[in-house]
Chain A
Amino acid sequence: MSASLYTTRRIKNVIAMVLSVIATGLGLFFLAWILWETLSQGASALKPQLFTKITAYREEGGLANAMIGSLILNFLGILIATPIGVAAGTWLAEYSRRSRLGPTIRFLNDILLSAPSIVLGLFVYTIVVLPSKYLSNGNVTFSGLAGGVALALIALPVIVRTTDEMLRLVPGTLREAALSLGVPQWKLTTQILIRSARSGIVTGVLLALARISGETAPLLFTAFGNTFTSLNPLTPMASLPQIIYEYTKDPSPDINTIAWAGAFVLTMFVLALSLIARFAFRSKVSHD
Chain B
Amino acid sequence: MHATASNAATAPAHTGASRTSTDSRNDLIFGWVLKACALLVLLSLIGAAGSTLWLGQDAFRTFGWGFLTSAAWDPSNDQYGALVPIMGTVGTAMIALVVAVPISFGIALFLTEIAPQWLRGPVASAIELLAGIPSIIYGMWGLFIFAPFVAEHIKPWLMNNFSAEPPDGQVSWLVQHVPWIAKFFSSEYPFFGAGVLTAGLVLAVMIIPFISSVMREVFQTVPTRLKESAYALGSSTWEVVWDIVVPYTRTAVIGGVFLGLGRALGETMAVAFVLGNTFKFSWSFLETGSSIASTIANQFGEAQGLQRSALMALAFLLFVVTFIVLLIARLMLRRLATKEGN
Contacts and interface: CB of A to CB of B under 8 A. Distances in A.
A19 interface: yes
B110 interface: yes
B30 interface: yes
B39 interface: yes
A215 to B, nearest CB: 7
B306 interface: no
A12 B136 contact: no
Interface in B120-165: 123, 125-141, 143-145
B330 interface: yes
Interface of A: 9-10, 12-13, 16-17, 19-24, 26-28, 30-31, 33-35, 37-38, 41, 83-85, 87-88, 90-92, 94-96, 101-102, 104-105, 107-112, 114-120, 122-123, 126-127, 153, 156-157, 160, 182, 184-186, 189, 210-211, 213-217, 220-221, 241, 244-245, 248-249, 256, 259-260, 263, 266-267, 270-271, 274-275, 278, 286-288
A272 to B, nearest CB: 10
Interface stretch (B68-76, B169-177, B185-193, B208-216): B208-216
B300 A271 contact: no
B178 interface: no
Contacts, number: 277
B85 to A, nearest CB: 12
Contacts of A41: 144
Interface of B: 1-2, 23-24, 26-27, 30-31, 33-35, 37-42, 44-45, 47-48, 51-52, 54-55, 102-107, 109-111, 114-115, 123, 125-141, 143-145, 205, 208-210, 212-214, 217, 236-239, 241-242, 259, 262-263, 265-269, 272-273, 293, 296-297, 300-301, 312, 315, 318-319, 322-323, 326-327, 330, 334
A28 B41 contact: no
Residue of A13, A23, A26, A221 with most partner-chain B CB within 10 A: A23
B37 to A, nearest CB: 4
Contact of A123 (B48, B213, B334): B48
A107 B110 contact: no
B41 A160 contact: yes
B129 A271 contact: yes
A96 B38 contact: yes
B140 A267 contact: no
A181 to B, nearest CB: 10
A185 B27 contact: yes
12 contacts: A20-B107, A23-B106, A28-B127, A101-B38, A105-B39, A118-B296, A118-B297, A156-B41, A182-B2, A214-B135, A217-B297, A278-B125
B137 A21 contact: no
Residue of B54, B131, B236, B301 with most partner-chain A CB within 10 A: B236
A91 B37 contact: yes
For the complex of A and B, list the 3 residue pairs with the smallest distance between their C-beta atoms, beginning with the closest.
Answer: A23-B106, A214-B134, A116-B266
Q: SS class of chain B's interface: helix, strand, loop or mixed?
A: helix
B114 A28 contact: no
Contact of B133 (A17, A85, A271, A275): A271
Given A28-B123, A34-B205, A96-B38, A288 B133 contact: no
A90 B41 CA distance: 13
Contact of A23 (B26, B107, B136): B107
A241 B141 contact: no
A221 B44 CA distance: 17
Contact of A27 (B42, B212, B330): B212
Nearest to A99: B35
Nearest to A10: B236
Contacts of A24: 106-107, 110-111, 115, 123
Given A111-B327, A266-B137, A105 B107 contact: no
Nearest to A184: B23
A38 B145 CA distance: 10
B239 to A, nearest CB: 7
A266 B236 contact: no
B139 A115 contact: no
Contacts of A244: 136, 140
Contacts of B35: 91, 95
B132 A20 contact: no
Contacts of B52: 119, 122-123, 126
B323 A95 contact: no
A88 B37 contact: yes
Contact of A31 (B145, B205, B269, B301): B205
B133 A12 contact: no
A271 B265 CA distance: 25
B38 to A, nearest CB: 4
A220 B301 contact: yes
Contacts of B334: 107
Contact of A117 (B45, B51, B140, B266): B266
A106 to B, nearest CB: 9
A217 B315 CA distance: 13
B259 A114 contact: yes
Contacts of A13: 236-239
Contacts of A270: 132-134
Contacts of B110: 20-21, 23-24
Contact of A20 (B30, B41, B109, B330): B109
B137 A114 contact: no
A115 B42 CA distance: 13
Contacts of B259: 114, 288
A119 B266 contact: yes
B273 A249 contact: yes
